[in-house]
Amino acid sequence: MHEKRVTIAELREEDLPFLISLWHTAEVMRYADEFPRLRGWSKSDDLRTAWDKYQENRAALGREYTQLILRLVDGTRVGESFFVPLPERYTFGKWKKPGHIEVLMGDIKLKPEYWRKGLGTEGMQQVVRWLFGNTNCSMLVVPPHRKNPAAQRVYEKVGFELYREMRSWRNHKVMELSRQRYDAIHYEHDGLR
């Protein structure tokens, strides 16, 4: 197995300037829309307001409302991943949230200087493990832009499957990873965990 290069941890207040600057990087945001009402504070440049809103949402939605920071092992911040529980009857184009199970939707973003080194894949592997290990979700969903093959490939490499009933909605595809599939993959390839 390769040596670990990335670590993940839940958001701390001191990470906010990094996040805000990441979200102001045009290349990063090019294909990474934020779907309405998901995070709720990323457009706030005022750090106090952003932190208060994060805490409010976290108190209301619990551990499933997850903002993770990705770092290199030397501590350098390189990216983030955010997942949020979807409400019942949530739809994304033709895709509908399956009823009565916890489904989290989110994504991963890295600073451009860290792209194409395998760090996105490694980071996403850890994010997925964290989510299935620390929340009660039964499924993860990601909405990569149809012109964002890097994102699609990262998600595919960690086990997500394309939802094929719909080509795209507002230019975004949907990819799913159920807990059952995740467990099956990791049972077959013991050692990936």
Binding residues for ligand COA, rule: CB under 6 A, are 28, 31-32, 107-110, 115-121, 142, 144, 148-151, 153-154
Structure tokens at 171: 């230019």
Nearest residue to 130 via CA among 187, 75, 185, 83? 83
Least distance from ligand COA to the Cβ atom of residue 150, Å: 3
Least distance from ligand COA to the Cβ atom of residue 148, Å: 5
Least distance from ligand COA to the Cβ atom of residue 111, Å: 8
162: three-class secondary structure by DSSP: strand
**Phi and psi torsions of 74, nearest 5°:** -80, 0
Nearest residue to 131 via CA among 192, 188, 182? 182
Pick 1 or 59: Cβ nearer ligand COA: 1
Nearest residue to 78 via CA among 26, 7, 154, 151? 7
Least distance from ligand COA to the Cβ atom of residue 152, Å: 8
Measured from each CB, the residue nearest to ligand COA is 120
Q: What is the DSSP string of 31-96?
A: T-PPPTTSSS-TT---HHHHHHHHHHHHHHHGGGSEEEEEEETTS-EEEEEEEEEPPTT-EETTEE
Pick 62 or 149: Cβ nearer ligand COA: 149
Least distance from ligand COA to the Cβ atom of residue 108, Å: 5
Pick 24 or 117: Cβ nearer ligand COA: 117
Nearest residue to 175 via CA among 128, 129, 130? 128
